[in-house]
Structure 1
Amino acid sequence: MENSENQPTRNNDSLIEVKNRRDLLITIILTTGLFVGGTSSGMAIGYSAVLLPQLKLNSSAIPIDDHMGSWIASIITAAMPVGSVISAVIIDKIGRVITFKIQCVVVSIAWIIVASAQNYEFMLLGRFTAGVASGIGVVVGQVYFTEVCRPNIRGILSAGPFISYSIGILIVYALGAAMPWRLVAGLSTIPGIIAIIIFCVLPESHIWLVKQNRNEEAMKALTWFRANNAQSEIKQIISRFEHQKTEEKISYKILFVPQVLKPLCITIILNVLQTLSGVYIVVFYAVDIISGIGIEDLEISDMLVAVITALVRTLVTIIFCVLLVYMSRRSFALVSGVSGTVFALILGTCLYFNITNYFIQVCLVTYVAATVGLLLLPGIMLGELFPIKARGVAGGLSHTIYSLSTFGVAKAYPFFKEYLKMYGMFWLFSLSSFLLSLIAYLVLPETRNKTLLEIEDYFLEKNLFWMNRKHKTISKENVV
Structure 2
Amino acid sequence: MSTDKNNNSDLHECKVKNKISKLRQAIPQFCAVGAENLLLVTLGSTIGFSSILIPELTKDKTDIFLDRDDESWISSMNLFTAPFGCLLSGLASTYFGRKTTMQLAMFPYILSWLIFYLSTTKQMLFIALVLAGLNNGIVEASVLTYVAEVSQPHLRGILSSTLSVAVILGFLTQSLTTTLTNWRTTCLVNITYPVIGFIAFCLVPESPYWLAEKQQIVNAEKALCWLRGWVSSCQIKNELEIICISVKPKDNKHKNKKHWKEFTKQTFISPFILVIVCFVIVNFAGSVCIQTYSVEIFKELNTPIGIKIAPVYLILAQLIGTIICVVSIFFTGKRTINFISIAGGGLCSLGISIYIYLVEFNFIHENKYTWLPSLLLIGTAFISHIGIRLLVWIIVGEVFPSKVKSIATSVSVAINYAFSGIANKTYLGLKDIIGLSGTFMLYAIIYFIGLVALYFMLPETEGKTLQEIQQHYSGIHKLNKNQQKEQKILI
User: What TM-score, normalized by structure 1, do the two folds share?
Assistant: 0.90
Moved more, 21-30 or 207-216: 21-30
1:148 aligns to what? 150
Contact 1:38 1:137 in 2 (8 A): no
Query: Which amino acid in 2 is paired with 1:378?
Result: V
- 2:388 aligned with 1:382, yes or no? no
Contact 1:259 1:460 in 2 (8 A): yes
1:80 aligns to what? 82
1:403 aligns to what? 417
428, 444, 448: which is aligned to 2:458? Answer: 444
Alignment partners' CA distance in 1, 2:54 and 2:434: 22
226, 233, 237: which is aligned to 1:231? Answer: 237
Residues 250-284 of structure 1, C-alpha deviation per residue, up to 9 Å, x if partnerless?
Answer: 75442211111110111112212221111111111
1:313 aligns to what? 318
Contact 1:106 1:129 in 2 (8 A): yes
- 2:287 aligned with 1:273, yes or no? no
186, 210, 224: which is aligned to 1:208? Answer: 210
Contact 1:48 1:285 in 2 (8 A): no
Per-residue deviation, 1:24: 4.4
Contact 2:157 2:326 in 1 (8 A): yes
397, 400, 405: which is aligned to 1:391? Answer: 405
Per-residue deviation, 1:137: 2.8
Contact 1:344 1:429 in 2 (8 A): yes
2:174 aligns to what? 172
60, 63, 67: which is aligned to 2:62? Answer: 60
Contact 1:51 1:176 in 2 (8 A): no
Query: Which amino acid in 1 is paired with 2:291?
Result: V
Instruction: Return 5+ residue gaps in structure 2 as ranges.
Output: 1-14, 360-365, 484-489
106, 111, 120: which is aligned to 1:109? Answer: 111
1:197 aligns to what? 199
Query: Which amino acid in 2 is paired with 1:425?
Result: T
- 2:47 aligned with 1:45, yes or no? yes
Residues 9-29 of structure 1, C-alpha deviation per residue, up to 9 Å, x if partnerless?
Answer: xxx99965x655543431341
Per-residue deviation, 1:308: 0.8
Alignment partners' CA distance in 2, 1:155 and 1:19: 20
| Corresponding residue SS for 2:120 | coil
Task: Mark the CA change 1:192 to 1:237 in structure 2 (over 3 Å): closer, same or farther.
Answer: same
1:188 aligns to what? 190
Instruction: Return 5+ residue gaps in structure 1 as ranges.
Output: 1-11, 470-475
2:140 aligns to what? 138
| Corresponding residue SS for 1:303 | coil
**Segments of 4+ moved more than 3 angstroms:** 12-16, 18-22, 240-243, 250-253, 462-469
Alignment partners' CA distance in 1, 2:152 and 2:247: 20
Query: Which amino acid in 1 is paired with 2:268?
Result: V
2:12 aligns to what? none
1:473 aligns to what? none
Contact 1:45 1:283 in 2 (8 A): no
Alignment partners' CA distance in 2, 1:467 and 1:150: 21
Moved more, 19-28 or 89-98: 19-28
Moved more, 235-244 or 214-223: 235-244
Alignment partners' CA distance in 2, 1:144 and 1:465: 24
Query: Which amino acid in 2 is paired with 1:255?
Result: F
Residues 368-399 of structure 1, C-alpha deviation per residue, up to 9 Å, x if partnerless?
Answer: 11111221132111111111111101001111
2:378 aligns to what? 365
Alignment partners' CA distance in 2, 1:468 and 1:42: 33
Per-residue deviation, 1:158: 1.5
Contact 1:443 1:464 in 2 (8 A): no
**How many residues of Structure 1 are paired with residues of Structure 2 in the alignment?**
455
- 2:346 aligned with 1:353, yes or no? no
- 2:334 aligned with 1:329, yes or no? yes
Per-residue deviation, 1:467: 6.4
Alignment partners' CA distance in 2, 1:275 and 1:419: 19
| Corresponding residue SS for 1:353 | helix
Q: Percent identity?
A: 24
Contact 1:34 1:160 in 2 (8 A): no
Contact 1:159 1:380 in 2 (8 A): yes
Per-residue deviation, 1:142: 1.1
User: What TM-score, normalized by structure 2, do the two folds share?
Assistant: 0.88
- 2:91 aligned with 1:89, yes or no? yes
